[in-house]
Structure 1
Amino acid sequence: MAREEGKALLDALNRATARHHLLALAVGGSADSQALRRELRGTRREAQELAAAARALLTAPLRDRGLRGEERAELERLWAAFSGCLDLLEADMRRALALGSAFPLQAPRRLVRTGAGGAGGSARSLRHLAERDGDGDGDGDDLRELEREVLQVSDMIHDMEMKVNVPRWAVQARHAAGAELLSAASSAGPASVQERAGPCDPGKALAAAVFSAVLLAAVALAVCVAKLS
């Protein structure tokens, strides 16, 4: 039961983390806006809730020393994937915090970006931009909240490492490395490979040898010229 629920939670966490990653990349860019910051904040909270649920679900069975065999191996694979998602989430949250601090959604920054100017209309422009972008929400409060959440995720990662001793390098993969490539090559068969390769053409082989010799001579000549100069 824990394994099936863990897979479902991890799939949802993967989607939320990937969506948060794409949104964090847009902070400070031309597509940045209050709407993007709200979407980023909501996705970040969703990812944290899923991460907390996944941690609670996987921690107890992995701390059970009586759990052995394939069941434990599968839970350890889920734990390794979960740890990777959490590391990515923390890194993107820190990136969003740095970019949000450098590019606050305030009227003066908007005024500079849009190229508006003039002493007479500056006050009206600032009020108009503040009303349009909803600057009353306050970037400072959102950034302080994000900073607290970054510390919470960092504490969650540290707590995970202290409670569950599952080194990522020790987790056994379900399939050997390159298993898909080996399967594709074996299904092709040696006969198919020979048919694709075809018989060797002596003329083409001679031409390739001559081309290689000319290329080596050109490289050697260039090296000599460089040393003499």
Structure 2
Amino acid sequence: MAREECKTLLDALNKATACYHHLVLTIGGSADSQNLREELQNTRQKAQELAVAIRARLTAALRDHGLGAEERSEFERLWVAFSGCLDLLEVDMRRALALGTAFPLHASRLPLVRTGVAGVAARALSSRSLRHKADRDFEVADLRDLEREILQVGEMIHDMEMKVNVPRWTVQAREEAGAELLASTGASSAGGVSVEEHTGPCDPSKALAATVFSAVLLAAVALVVCVAKLS
């Protein structure tokens, strides 16, 4: 039951990490906006919450000395996959910090409300200025939180390595690397062999007969064209 729960949580973490990676790549582009920055914040927080839950379950399972060999092997594979997800998440969080710092959404500007502007226009400009300040404050706070969360993820990775010693190179995969690619390539090769066996090798006598027939046909067509022009 714990293994299936870990698999479910890990699948959710994979999706959240992939979504975060896709969003990070749009920072500084034409699709960058306040909504994107908020979505980035929500996605990385969700990924971190999932990571905390998975770490607790996997750590408890792998530190259980009564765990069977098969169960332990399965949990070790999940542990390695989980470690890989955390590594990718940390890299993307660092990339988001660098891009967010390089491409701020709300640069510092001069006050929009000037002396002499009154009435509805003044209130509209004042409201826009306050909204701009709120967005700017969110962006600054978000980058500060992101920097702190990067350190937390790094500490989580270090803590995992200290509590559970599962070297990645000792975990055996269920399938060989590139098994799916080799399977598809093998199917294509098998299809090519079947076609060759069905058609069989080229017969020289048949090829010569086809060439002679084509030459006779072309001569007949040329003769018909000449007769038509003379008439």
TM-score for both structures, normalised by structure 1: 0.71
Determine the structure 2 residue equivalent to 1:105: 105
Determine the structure 2 residue equivalent to 1:155: 155
Computed over aligned residues only, the root mean square deviation of the Cα atoms, in angstroms, reads: 3.2
Alpha-carbon shift at residue 99 of structure 1 (Å): 1.0
Determine the structure 1 residue equivalent to 2:65: 65
Sequence identity, in percent?
68
Closer, same or farther in 2 for the Cα pair 1:82/1:67, shift >3 Å? same
Partner Cα separation in structure 2 for residue 162 and residue 168 of structure 1:
14
Q: How does 1:131-210 map to 2 (within 5 A)?
A: 131=131, 134-180=134-180, 183=183, 185=186, 188=190, 192=194, 194-195=196-197, 198-199=200-201
Q: Which amino acid aligns with 2:142?
A: D
Gaps of 5+ in 1: 112-122, 203-229
Q: Which amino acid aligns with 1:88?
A: L
CA deviation profile, 1:128-187 (whole Å, cap 9, x unmatched): 476369525332211111111110000000001111111112111012334445555379
CA deviation profile, 1:170-227 (whole Å, cap 9, x unmatched): 111012334445555379489627527953799xxxxxxxxxxxxxxxxxxxxxxxxx
2:12 equivalent to 1:17: no
Q: Is the 8 A contact 2:24 2:40 kept in 1?
A: yes
Partner Cα separation in structure 2 for residue 104 and residue 80 of structure 1:
36
Q: How does 1:68-147 map to 2 (within 5 A)?
A: 68-108=68-108, 128=128, 131=131, 134-147=134-147
Q: Is the 8 A contact 1:107 1:129 kept in 2?
A: no
Number of equivalent positions: 191
Closer, same or farther in 2 for the Cα pair 1:191/1:86, shift >3 Å? same
TM-score for both structures, normalised by structure 2: 0.71
Determine the structure 1 residue equivalent to 2:46: 46
Q: What secondary structure does 1:199 align onto?
A: coil
Q: Is the 8 A contact 1:107 1:130 kept in 2?
A: no
Q: What secondary structure does 1:138 align onto?
A: helix
Q: Is the 8 A contact 1:17 1:47 kept in 2?
A: yes
With 189-198 and 171-180 compared, the bigger mean Cα shift is at 189-198
Q: Which amino acid aligns with 1:62?
A: L
Determine the structure 1 residue equivalent to 2:8: 8
Q: Which amino acid aligns with 1:34?
A: Q
Alpha-carbon shift at residue 63 of structure 1 (Å): 1.9
Partner Cα separation in structure 2 for residue 181 and residue 198 of structure 1:
29
Determine the structure 1 residue equivalent to 2:36: 36
Q: What secondary structure does 2:95 align onto?
A: helix
Partner Cα separation in structure 1 for residue 15 and residue 92 of structure 2:
14
Gaps of 5+ in 2: 111-121, 205-231
Alpha-carbon shift at residue 73 of structure 1 (Å): 1.1
